[in-house]
């Protein structure tokens, strides 16, 4: 049993010191995950990778709602999901009227690219549609895109074969490319 799995088990059992032991062990991996996600965001983003890690961590180890973690992979899959939700909430917040959501941003360049928030929201909506048709494929995309897990890790988290994880990834990429218009 790895240190992370052991500490996660201690958190489930109500050990108050375990939560403080977990962060130093997972912080660097969570920070790398967040940095990858933030690299796709627009420059000048108000949400920084460190804030994304901290917000996701707080949601994962909420003292009032004890979570059940089967393994280290399960924890990082949940972290990826939490980061995804935070980025979606942030993008949707920018589209609200009180944040100027009815105004179009205009870049001073020859071609205007779609805002990254629009891309994240479109991806979230497409993933929701994919989940109704093929929930496993949607989970594979979440784990691969948002958690940065490889096929072997995805297979372990979902309890499927590596071959099936690769097959679902190929299918989901094609499905999303079609759904998002190329």
Cα–Cα dist 14/26, whole Å: 19
Residue 32: predicted pLDDT: 80
Residue 29: predicted pLDDT: 81
Residue 163: predicted pLDDT: 94
Higher pLDDT, 170 or 180: 170
Tell me if 49 sits within 8 A of 34, measured CB to CB.
Answer: yes
Give the residue numbers spanning the domain of 78. Answer: 3-179
H helix or E strand, kind and range, residue 82:
helix 72-94
pLDDT at 108 over 80: no
The CA dihedral of 135, 140, 145, 151, to the nearest 10 degrees, is 180
Other Cβ atoms less than 10 A from the Cβ of 49: the count is 20
Tell me the pLDDT band of 12, cut-offs 50, 70 and 90: confident
Query: Looking at residues 149-170, what average pLDDT do you find?
Result: 91
pLDDT at 95 over 90: no
Residue 64: predicted pLDDT: 63
The closest alpha carbon to 12, from 72, 61, 56, belongs to: 61
Tell me the pLDDT band of 111, cut-offs 50, 70 and 90: very low
How many folded domains does the chain comprise?
1
């Amino acid at each position: 049993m790895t240190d992370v799995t052991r500490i996660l088990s201690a958190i489930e059992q109500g050990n108050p010191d375990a939560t403080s032991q977990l962060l130093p062990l997972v912080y660097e991996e969570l920070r790398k995950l967040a940095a990858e996600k933030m690299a796709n965001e627009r420059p000048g983003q108000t949400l920084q990778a460190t804030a994304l890690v901290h917000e996701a961590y707080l949601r994962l180890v909420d003292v009032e709602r004890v979570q059940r973690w089967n393994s280290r992979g399960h924890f990082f899959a949940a972290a990826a999901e939490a980061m995804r939700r935070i980025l979606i909430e942030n993008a949707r917040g920018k589209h609200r009227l009180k944040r100027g959501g009815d105004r179009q941003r205009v870049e001073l360049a020859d071609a205007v690219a779609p805002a990254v928030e629009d891309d994240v929201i479109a991806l979230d909506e497409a993933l929701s549609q994919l989940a109704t048709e093929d929930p496993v494929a949607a989970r594979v995309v979440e784990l691969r895109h948002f958690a940065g897990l490889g096929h072997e890790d995805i297979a372990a988290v979902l309890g499927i074969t590596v071959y099936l994880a690769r097959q679902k990834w190929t299918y989901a990429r094609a499905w999303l490319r079609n759904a998002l218009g190329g």
